[in-house]
Amino acid sequence: MKQFFYHFPLSLLILFVGCEQKKTDHQGEANAYMHQTKFEELVARFESPKRAKWQKPDEVMRLLGPLEGKKVMDLGCGSGYFTVRLLAAGASVIAADVNQEFLDYIKKRVEEETESAPEISYRKLPNDSPKLEAAEVDMVLTVNVYHHIENRAAYFTQVKQGLAPEGKLVIVDFFKKETPKGPPYKMRIPAEQVEKELLEAGFKKFEVRKDVLPYQYILIAQ
């Protein structure tokens, strides 16, 4: 049996279950699959050095642009794979997840790995909201999470309201095709559909990069 390995917090797999049965069938499968794995094993997968070969975190960070002095929410932060990189780039970070276990893990990780006091806060999210105040952040980054969120137009309407003027939403997710890494094909959402849903949420400007990562697109919305 083919085993899928991709960065996705176990916590966010439970988002919005039951809202639309036709769309939630594959979410149920993902829940069952991920719940077979212990938390420690998930962290080991998310933080595996092998991940860098296809996730290319340095390329993703470079595409985000200068972050010094900016406030960024890492939405669905999981083990903090990008959280620590955002901090290293000089951002003030909100590590956000629905699972307190991941937030506790990141807090301990940051304390152990960071010499100076980083500008980071931890936010446990409800299932249906990013819990952002109006114009609270300059950027929201969400990696390998979008395809698990339901009621996405409503959810990302809230994300948009939490962005400062000229703020950006950056979504990294998997191509709608079979790849060596990533979720099952039927769970994947093409960039074109993401753009359509974000238009409904109120976003107006889009840039889609399909040439940076081997298995994923990067969509930047404003």
Establish if 92 belongs to a structural domain. yes
pLDDT averaged over every residue in the chain: 86
| Sequence-ordered alpha helix ranges (H) in 68-139 | 83-88, 100-113
pLDDT at 58: 98
Question: Exposure pattern of 138-160 as b/e (b: 16+ CB <10 Å)?
Answer: bbbbbbbbbbbbbebebbbbebb
Residue 19 has pLDDT above 50, yes or no: no
Domain at 200, CATH number: 3.40.50.150
- Strand pairing category for 206-209 and 216-221: antiparallel
Which pTM does this prediction carry? Answer: 0.85
For the CA atoms of the chain, what is the radius of gyration?
Answer: 16
Domain that holds residue 16: 10-221
pLDDT at 80: 96
For the record, the structure tokens of 33 come out as 């699959």
Q: Count how many domains the chain has.
A: 1
Grade residue 36 by pLDDT with cuts at 50, 70 and 90. Answer: low
Whether residue 18 contacts residue 104, with contact meaning beta carbons closer than 8 Å, is answered with no
Grade residue 148 by pLDDT with cuts at 50, 70 and 90. Answer: confident
% of the chain at pLDDT higher than 70: 83
Establish if 118 belongs to a structural domain. yes
Establish if 1 belongs to a structural domain. no
Across 177-204, average pLDDT: 96
Establish if 17 belongs to a structural domain. yes
pLDDT at 173: 97
Establish if 35 belongs to a structural domain. yes
Across 72-101, average pLDDT: 95
pLDDT in tens, 105-137: 999 999 998 777 789 999 999 989 999 999 999
Residue 20 has pLDDT above 70, yes or no: no
pLDDT at 170: 98
pLDDT in tens, 37-68: 687 888 888 999 999 999 999 999 999 999 99
State the DSSP code for 167. E
Establish if 4 belongs to a structural domain. no
% of the chain at pLDDT higher than 90: 73
Q: According to the 3-state scheme, what is the secondary structure of 151-165?
A: CHHHHHHHHHHHEEE
Grade residue 31 by pLDDT with cuts at 50, 70 and 90. Answer: very low
Q: How many angstroms separate the Cα of 97 from the Cα of each of 12, 25, 43, 75, 211?
A: 7, 23, 14, 6, 29
pLDDT at 42: 80
For the record, the structure tokens of 201 come out as 């949420």
For the record, the structure tokens of 125 come out as 């999210």
The partner residues of 170 in beta bridges, in order of sequence, read 141, 220
pLDDT at 120: 97
For the record, the structure tokens of 31 come out as 């829940």
In 3D space, the residue among 106, 110, 77 whose CA is nearest the CA of residue 10 turns out to be 77
Establish if 37 belongs to a structural domain. yes
Establish if 5 belongs to a structural domain. no
Question: Exposure pattern of 27-54 as b/e (b: 16+ CB <10 Å)?
Answer: beebbeebeeeeeeebbebbbeeebeeb
Across 144-164, average pLDDT: 95
